Amino acid sequence: SPLNSLNCGVSLDAPWWSHPISARKPNGCQLTPPPRMTVRERLRQNISAAFYRHGLLCASYPVPIILFTSASILTCCYPLLKLPLPGTGPVEFTTGVRDYSVPSHGTQGDLGERPDWYRGPPVAYIQQVLVKAAVSPWDSSLVPVDVFRSPLGRVFSLLEEIRDHVYTDRSLESLCLQVTDLLPGLRRMQSLLPEHGCLLVSPGNYWQNRRDMFDSDPDILKTVHQHEPKGLHTSATLKDLLFGVPGKSTGVSLYSKKRVVTYTITIALSSYDARFVASLRARLKQLHPSTNCSLREDHMVHVHFKEEIGIAELIPLVTTYIILFAYIYFSTRKIDMVKSKWGLALAAVVTVLSSLLMSVGLCSLFGLTPTLNGGEIFPYLVVVIGLENVLVLTKSVVSTPVDLEVKLRIAQGLSSESWSIMKNMATELVIILIGYFTLVPAIQEFCLFAVVGLVSDFFLQMFFFTTVLSIDIRRMELADLNRRLPAEAGMPPPKPGPLRPREAPPPSRPSPHTITLQAPAFRNLRLPKRLRVVYFLARTRLAQRIIMVGTVIWIGILVYTDPAGLRTYLAAQVSEQSPLGEAGLPPHLGVAPVFPGGDPTSTLNVLPAPEPTPLPENQSQGHGEARSGPAPLTSPQITWGSEDEEVWRRLSFRYWPSLFSYYNITLAKRYISILPVIPVTLHLSPQEAIETRHPQDTQHAPRTSAKTTELQADLTLYKVAALGLFAGVLLVLLLFCLYRVLCPRNYGQNGVQHGRRRRGDLPCDEYGYSPPVSEISPLLLRGHSMDIECLANDGMLLASCCLAGQIRVWDAQTGDCLTVIPNNGLRRSSSSGCWEHRDGWDPSSPAYDADSLLGPEARNASTPIMDNEHPLRRRTTPVRPALFGDQPDLTPLIDTNFGEVPPSQMMPGCGFDFGELVERAYKEHEASPPLPFPPSPPAARQRRRSLGDQSVAPPEQVLLAPWDWDSSVWSMELRGNLIAAGRSSGKLELWDAVEGSLRCCNEDGSSGITALAFLNNRIVAARLNGSLDFFTVDIHKPLGLLQYRGPPGRASLPPSPCYSSEDVISCQLTRSVQCAHQKPITVLRAAAGRVVTGSQDHTVRVYRLEDSCCLFTLQGHAGGITAIYIDQTMVLASGGQDGAICLWDVLTGSRVSHVYGHRGDVTSLVCTTSCVLSSGLDDLICIWDRSTGIKLYSIQQEVGCGASLGVISESLLVTGGQGCVSFWDLNYGDLLQTVYLGQSGEGQPVRQLLVLDNAAIVCDFGSELSLVYVPSVLEKLD
Amino acid sequence: MPRLEERCWSCSCSTGVKSKELSSASWIASKTGEMMSIITSVLRQAYVSLYHVQSANLIRRGLVLFAVGVFLALVLYLLQIQRNVVLFPEEVLDTLFSSAWWIPPCCGTAAAVVGLLYPCLDSHLGEPHKFKREWASVMRCIAVFVGINHASAKLDFANNMQLSLTLAALSLGLWWTFDRSRSGFGLGLTTALLATLIMQLLVYNDIYQYTSPEFRYIRSWLPCIFFSGGVTVGNIGRQLAMQFHRV
């Protein structure tokens, strides 16, 4: 219901109810549903319409919506201020002792400021007896050990006193907290901590509470220190535990300056009996009066402990956070094709985080306080809410046509993904609802939070993120505009950069992003302001600084409020300094009693010692040499200050939890009540101290390592620093390793090239190891003298045409050359004459040399093949209209004498010196078995050759040819045994593939045939001037017509000669569509009775083959069409110069999907039943999921090999490389095998690749053809 | 390699000279040469197989999966210990590593096996897994898996039945959200059954003991955890198989 209201609100707010949507919307969602629709479809349409309107709204008013969203986020987060800061320190609550009663369990209203943990009895009541003992007056006859030996000895009598105290038949035994065994892991502390009895801890535990053991202990310090941990310790040590005061202030040290020993006897009571405690207090005070002590005794402190986070608990927590960050990283990495990737990623993260905060805030607003540990469930909440929707939205919006208006793009993107978003949302809600019915309280709470979080996340996605996305996309268009303007103003076009290194001058083609400027004023005025704000933020790094400052403040607050932290430290400092400040006042004794129970913060300096000396700290010299000296000895003074009221505050805040944890009692989420401390002052006479001496005590020389404690502290510091450094280095190393493992070398093309080329370049390593010889051995079909230009196949036969115009027909099974159809006397010479014939190597035809050098009478047909500007031009767009019009003068002649040149690297190029090449080639040629050059018979037309390895002899019969030989073959098709060849002069020739004879020739058109399609008995020819001619091939023999096969393709039968040479074949022009396209046709494909043409005018047209009627004109590309795929199942895909790939429905002419995948032209396209494979000028092969349009993965190809691509079966992909072809598993993108075509590592790039029916592939390899049979291993994969 | 061979040659030669039997020395030398050539060929074959792209990929994937398994096992073990021991003294970590040191390697090996088995099974069944093939989804899956463990360790359930049902529902939800393939379900189920069986055998033979005194409690969650673990590791393995082969 909130969604409905949301949609309603949106639709009411939207002022463009009657906006013409239906014309623009790709999925044809109309506002008025057709009458017969299921509920589901109607719902779907309604949802998508609502989303559409919402997208329009968001993109139209970005600023108000963002403001509104921020305001609502802040409002929802406001209740969070009441929640305590996250931290693990204990919290306190103080009550009076007098009217104390055990708090009840019930949850009756709030009684004042009583915290909600203050319920029920505490774990224990802690009664501490703080003992300060000193030997006074100090005597020069005393040794340092005397400082603490006899004061410590008095603990046993005190213990006895406490144990034996009885008040109205209540003894300590009945009241105290009874403990059982220690934890099993603590065997070594068994003798030190009480077991099976009262939890009563005192320094006497070192000696098992036995006086005789204490007396016989020769070295008290050693006993005390032997249990201290050696390494670093953060929690309470045993000394802290037993003494109950911080280790330094115990005074148990040989170098104590004050000579006052301080320790506590800690009693844990299970139940509170006020009278017993009071009587104990009175008794102790009476026995050991500390007259000047005025500690407050009326407050009881309850300390509540939060859940402990130890190292063992931290590891899972840290793990979940690492996983969370990895999830966020991998999610946001997918954001692509937007202006600011990081900005959008940040917006996505902000969306999720603020939705979480909103959910917590809302829950606490409605009285549902979070009891779960926020830090622990947070990652799971993020994962449950997820970033998916945001990414899907981005992707969908980005995939909309760029030439639309921003508003419409956003709206279309939203509406096309609306159904899946709603479905996901409903599914998640249902899952969470199921979780709610598990009836486990924790899970229920989690689910509640997750539900609120999901809803608020949806809200934020719809309002916040969509708006941010619209701003981003608008910025992108603006940036494109800015980039394009100078280019139009005559500036050189931007450098293509390293992406397109093989295309020296980038063709001037329309920018992929067309801009529709609706309101220029609006954009020019408002957007720069917004941009300026963003840039300002980016320049000053405001966000980072705010975050840093916030972190520092937070840490500061934590440190200050921490019980073991700064506040207590400061308080202690203040109270320590104050006696010094008051030390100047002589009448201490007079002042003190005036404030007997006064202000607790005021410090009372009490000097109980008989010989009070002023400024004792400055003069006390406890060191050995000072003792022997004549310096006046100071007697220790026992002072009671406010810091003594709560001694436990000076201990680690883990003191109580660790004490109780030894008995497997947890204090997490529970509390203890600490009763006011009982002060006990002990004054011992020197005689007593001397009497209790152990014989060895006097032998204690002052140790040489006088500064052990300071040294220890220093060492600790260093250790911490070293450990931190070490951990940091280790972390960096670990992350580096993780990075290396997870991201193996697929960034950019350098690594790939290196990897693959190394294998090619180094056939042998130093161990004499050569790469594994592949079981696939390519069959090289030699015979062409120049680079292969056209390839055509029909199952059994294979026709190829080289630059020299020679057509060869091969047996696709055996690789034998069946027929050679030579071209005659053509001599190649570019208009500038930069490629000249050299006399030295062509002695046989000097006449032609002269002929060609004279030039003007050279017969003409433009051959774009070897144009210097396009040494590696694309096969799919054979012509550049600006460069090659119908200009007869440019015609070069191709000398068939090239046939004499052994196949070698014939790199065409201006100023290329052929001499070296030829000489080298001759040397190589001499080394190899000499090729015979038989004088060819004059009747060249009828010549048949089956020796494919032989070169063609120079055909001297050129001039005898009755037809126009001088034009080159631009396109070729092979069906049955008919070769259809389209020439640059506009002639269409039909050759017999077996006989090698010309069967028919049609000269109806004059413009060059750029593409041919041969289907059934029809030939479709696309011409350079954009016209499309439909020819019918008639065979005047009924049998041949009958035998003419149906649709070609995979299912075709092996071709058999369907007509004999006696048949008369005629080829008639049935229809000529003069202006099929405004610009030259670049691609022509025919299948399933349809002819599809793609042109440079950005459109794709679909014609019916039978009546040559144009069915559809498909618009949607923002650049010329460069690749088209259509097959028997009427799948039509097209790729354009803008790098976009469109899938079309051939029956309805509607666009099914539209993705951007390449930077640069799409050079070839293949579809399988489940994926679409595309390759582009950026040498990237992308594999897309056909149904969803999601990119599955991509393969980086080598430079120049991007276009060669073929699919053998559903799961086997073949790509060409530098002198090799690679086989890939299509499902996994798994490189199965690489087959090297030549022996030498440096191979020409494989630019054309054709898959034959018998699971073989044929590819061009320079002037050779390579036939590769895919072995049985691979066929098993089918 | 040649250096090693040389040393062996010289070594055998010296023994031959010492024994003053030239013929036998040459025989020994020739034999040693043969042995060395055999050894080198064996090593070379091993190197070839290591060099071969697929097996190298396999090993790398296995190593990654092993590391993941060890890490997850440690983390989850800690989580489970927390349920039984309320607060850790510092010794617990020592006892953890001393008493059951073999658990993480076992889990790692199991993870490697299962993670390699999933893509293998996929390719054998001929139905490549295409549902949500991206790292973000894998990370989500791991997080949910840890969350399930966390829930089973931290939450207090009324009885074992409730615990089992909740965990089973969560595991099925995990499978439905991230896998949805029959092979994944089957393999996960097999993993769960096998692992539970092995655990039971270990416990009956007193090799391993549960820390919790209540045995039934553990039995109620073990299969679910193993099932979701299998699915998770399979997810990682599939993604790795795709990632590593995308050269």
What digits encode the pLDDT tens for the residues A551-575?
888 877 777 665 555 556 666 655 5
Instruction: Test B91 with A769 for CB contact under 8 angstroms.
Output: no
- Tell me whether residue A513 is exposed, middle or buried, using C-beta atoms within 10 angstroms of its C-beta: 0 to 12, 13 to 18, 19 or more: middle
Q: Is the pTM of this model over 0.80?
A: no
Name the pLDDT band for A255 (thresholds 50, 70, 90): confident
Digit-coded pLDDT (tens) for A604-650: 333 343 443 343 444 334 343 334 444 445 667 777 777 777 777 77
How far apart, in whole angstroms, are the C-alpha atoms of residue A208 and residue A192? 7
Q: Measure in Å the smallest separation between the Cα of A15 and chain B Cα atoms.
A: 39
CA angle A1062/A1063/A1067 to nearest 5° reads: 140
A683: which strand partners?
A134
How far apart, in whole angstroms, are the C-alpha atoms of residue B64 and residue B54? 15
Please determine, for residue A669, whether its predicted confidence score (pLDDT) is greater than 70.
yes
Q: What is the mean pLDDT of residues A760-765?
A: 36
User: Which distant-in-sequence residues (6+ apart) come within 8 Å of A337 by Cβ?
Assistant: A398, A1156
How far apart, in whole angstroms, are the C-alpha atoms of residue A568 and residue A588? 26
Q: Name the A residues in 1159-1188 with CB < 8 Å from any B CB.
A: 1170, 1185
Q: In the structure encoding, which two tokens stand for residue B106, read together?
A: 């076992």
Question: Average model confidence (pLDDT) for chain B?
Answer: 74
How far apart, in whole angstroms, are the C-alpha atoms of residue A1031 and residue A1101? 18
A808: which strand partners?
A800, A820
Please determine, for residue A1278, whether its predicted confidence score (pLDDT) is greater than 60.
no
Name the pLDDT band for A1005 (thresholds 50, 70, 90): confident
Q: Measure in Å the smallest separation between the Cα of B193 and chain A Cα atoms.
A: 25
Q: Measure in Å the smallest separation between the Cα of A1230 and chain B Cα atoms.
A: 4
Q: Which of A873-882, B18-27, B182-191 has the lowest mean pLDDT?
A: A873-882
**Residue A1035: CA count within 13 A, CB half-sphere:** 24
Q: Which of A759-768, A1189-1198, B67-76 has the lowest mean pLDDT?
A: A759-768
Q: Please tell me the total number of residues recorded for chain A in this structure.
A: 1278
A179: which strand partners?
A197
Which residues of B are less than 8 Å from A380 in CB distance? 143-144, 147, 150
Q: Which of A164-173, A613-622, A693-702, A1214-1223 has the lowest mean pLDDT?
A: A613-622
- The pLDDT, as a whole number, for residue A530 is 59
DSSP state of A1120: -
Name the pLDDT band for A787 (thresholds 50, 70, 90): confident
- The pLDDT, as a whole number, for residue A839 is 38
Please determine, for residue A313, whether its predicted confidence score (pLDDT) is greater than 50.
yes
- Cα torsion angle, A754, A756, A762, A767, sign: positive
Please determine, for residue B33, whether its predicted confidence score (pLDDT) is greater than 70.
yes
**Cβ pair A1264, A824 in contact under 8 A:** no
**A854 and B CB contact within 8 Å:** no
**Cβ pair A918, A841 in contact under 8 A:** yes
Q: In the structure encoding, which two tokens stand for residue A1130, read together?
A: 């009427």
Name the pLDDT band for A958 (thresholds 50, 70, 90): very low
DSSP H or E stretch at residue A550: helix A542-561
Please determine, for residue A546, whether its predicted confidence score (pLDDT) is greater than 80.
yes
Q: What is the mean pLDDT of residues B38-63?
A: 75
Best mutation target among A233, A314, A383, A1168 (most B Cβ atoms within 10 Å) is A383
DSSP state of A218: S
- The pLDDT, as a whole number, for residue A71 is 92
Please determine, for residue A955, whether its predicted confidence score (pLDDT) is greater than 70.
no
C-alpha closest to that of B111 among B219, B197, B235, B242: B235
How far apart, in whole angstroms, are the C-alpha atoms of residue B56 and residue A798? 39
In terms of pLDDT, which residue wins out, A985 or A572? Answer: A985
**Residue A1105: CA count within 13 A, CB half-sphere:** 20
Q: In the structure encoding, which two tokens stand for residue A426, read together?
A: 């409903």
How far apart, in whole angstroms, are the C-alpha atoms of residue B129 and residue B235? 10
Q: Tokens 């590819």: give the residue.
A: A1259
Please determine, for residue B146, whether its predicted confidence score (pLDDT) is greater than 60.
yes
**A1228 and B CB contact within 8 Å:** yes
Q: What is the mean pLDDT of residues A409-425?
A: 86
Most confidently modeled range among A175-179, A533-537, A1075-1079, B233-237: B233-237
How far apart, in whole angstroms, are the C-alpha atoms of residue B234 and residue A1018? 53
Please determine, for residue A131, whether its predicted confidence score (pLDDT) is greater than 60.
yes
Count how many pairs of residues, chain A against chain B, have C-beta atoms within 8 Å. Answer: 156
Could you tell me which chain A residue has the CA closest to the CA of B92? A185
Which residues of B are less than 8 Å from A1194 in CB distance? 246
Q: Which of A601-605, A715-719, B147-151 has the lowest mean pLDDT?
A: A601-605
Name the pLDDT band for A504 (thresholds 50, 70, 90): very low
Could you tell me which chain A residue has the CA closest to the CA of B82? A313
How far apart, in whole angstroms, are the C-alpha atoms of residue A983 and residue A989? 8
Digit-coded pLDDT (tens) for A461-487: 888 988 888 888 888 766 655 554 444
Q: Which of A137-146, A1080-1089, A1213-1222, A1244-1253 has the lowest mean pLDDT?
A: A1244-1253
- The pLDDT, as a whole number, for residue A642 is 74
Please determine, for residue A495, whether its predicted confidence score (pLDDT) is greater than 50.
no
In terms of pLDDT, which residue wins out, A285 or A909? Answer: A285
- The pLDDT, as a whole number, for residue A1240 is 57
What Rg do the C-alpha atoms of chain A give, in angstroms? Answer: 47
How far apart, in whole angstroms, are the C-alpha atoms of residue A1199 and residue A1220? 13
Name the pLDDT band for A776 (thresholds 50, 70, 90): low
CA dihedral B212, B215, B217, B222 (to 10 degrees): 100
Query: How far lies A23's CA from each of A19, A1098, A1099, in Å?
Result: 10, 20, 19
- Cα torsion angle, A237, A242, A247, A252, sign: negative
Digit-coded pLDDT (tens) for A96-122: 887 787 777 665 555 556 777 788 888
Q: What is the mean pLDDT of residues A4-20?
A: 38
Instruction: Test A1230 with B241 for CB contact under 8 angstroms.
Output: yes
Q: Give SS3 for A954.
A: coil
Residues above pLDDT 70, as percent of chain A: 61
Name the pLDDT band for A759 (thresholds 50, 70, 90): very low
Q: Which of A635-649, A886-900, A1165-1179, B66-80 has the lowest mean pLDDT?
A: A886-900
Residues above pLDDT 90, as percent of chain A: 1
Nearest Cβ partner of A767 from B44, B52, B162?
A: B44
User: For residue A342, how many other CB atoms are within 10 A of its CB?
Assistant: 11
Most confidently modeled range among A440-454, A606-620, A956-970, B101-115: B101-115
How far apart, in whole angstroms, are the C-alpha atoms of residue A524 and residue A544? 30
**Cβ pair B121, B183 in contact under 8 A:** yes
Which residues of A are less than 8 Å from B51 in CB distance? 769
C-alpha closest to that of A1014 among A1057, A1067, A966, A1054: A1067
Digit-coded pLDDT (tens) for B52-63: 666 778 888 899
Which residues of B are less than 8 Å from A769 in CB distance? 44, 47-48, 51
Q: Which of A130-144, A1256-1270, B118-132 has the lowest mean pLDDT?
A: A1256-1270
Q: Is the peptide bond before A137 cis (omega within 30 degrees of 0)?
A: yes
Please determine, for residue A905, whether its predicted confidence score (pLDDT) is greater than 50.
no
Helix A406-436 and helix A388-398: axis angle, to 10°? 160
Q: What is the mean pLDDT of residues A159-166?
A: 86
Please determine, for residue A488, whether its predicted confidence score (pLDDT) is greater than 50.
no
Q: Measure in Å the smallest separation between the Cα of A1135 and chain B Cα atoms.
A: 24
The backbone torsions φ and ψ at residue B76, rounded to the nearest 5 degrees and listed phi first, read: -70, -35
**Cβ pair A952, A896 in contact under 8 A:** yes
Q: What is the mean pLDDT of residues A1044-1060?
A: 43
Please determine, for residue A947, whether its predicted confidence score (pLDDT) is greater than 50.
no
How far apart, in whole angstroms, are the C-alpha atoms of residue A549 and residue A547? 5
Q: What is the mean pLDDT of residues A688-693?
A: 81
CA angle A1012/A1017/A1020 to nearest 5° reads: 25
- The pLDDT, as a whole number, for residue A571 is 61
**A380 and B CB contact within 8 Å:** yes
Which residues of A are less than 8 Å from B135 in CB distance? 326, 330
DSSP state of A885: S
**Cβ pair A1216, A1268 in contact under 8 A:** no
**Cβ pair A264, A202 in contact under 8 A:** yes
User: Which distant-in-sequence residues (6+ apart) come within 8 Å of A1255 by Cβ?
Assistant: A1208, A1209, A1269, A1270, A1274, A1275
How far apart, in whole angstroms, are the C-alpha atoms of residue B169 and residue A113? 43
- The pLDDT, as a whole number, for residue A749 is 36
- Which letter, b or e, does each residue of A1214-1240 get, where b requires 16 or more Cβ atoms within 10 Å of its Cβ? bbbbbbbbbbbbbbbbbbbbbbbbbee
**Cβ pair A1161, A874 in contact under 8 A:** yes
DSSP H or E stretch at residue B139: helix B135-154
Most confidently modeled range among A73-82, A364-373, A409-418, A1068-1077: A409-418
Q: Measure in Å the smallest separation between the Cα of A310 and chain B Cα atoms.
A: 7
Please determine, for residue A1250, whether its predicted confidence score (pLDDT) is greater than 50.
yes
Instruction: Test A383 with B156 for CB contact under 8 angstroms.
Output: no
Question: Average model confidence (pLDDT) for chain A?
Answer: 68
- The pLDDT, as a whole number, for residue B66 is 92
User: Which distant-in-sequence residues (6+ apart) come within 8 Å of A362 by Cβ?
Assistant: A76, A79, A452, A456
- The pLDDT, as a whole number, for residue A308 is 59
Nearest Cβ partner of B86 from A380, A440, A666?
A: A666
Q: In the structure encoding, which two tokens stand for residue A993, read together?
A: 């593939």
Nearest Cβ partner of B75 from A316, A327, A333?
A: A316
Instruction: Test A772 with B92 for CB contact under 8 angstroms.
Output: no
How far apart, in whole angstroms, are the C-alpha atoms of residue A131 and residue A284? 11
Could you tell me which chain A residue has the CA closest to the CA of B141? A383
Query: How far lies A847's CA from each of A193, A651, A935, B100, in Å?
Result: 117, 110, 17, 93
A1196: which strand partners?
A1180
- The pLDDT, as a whole number, for residue A67 is 92
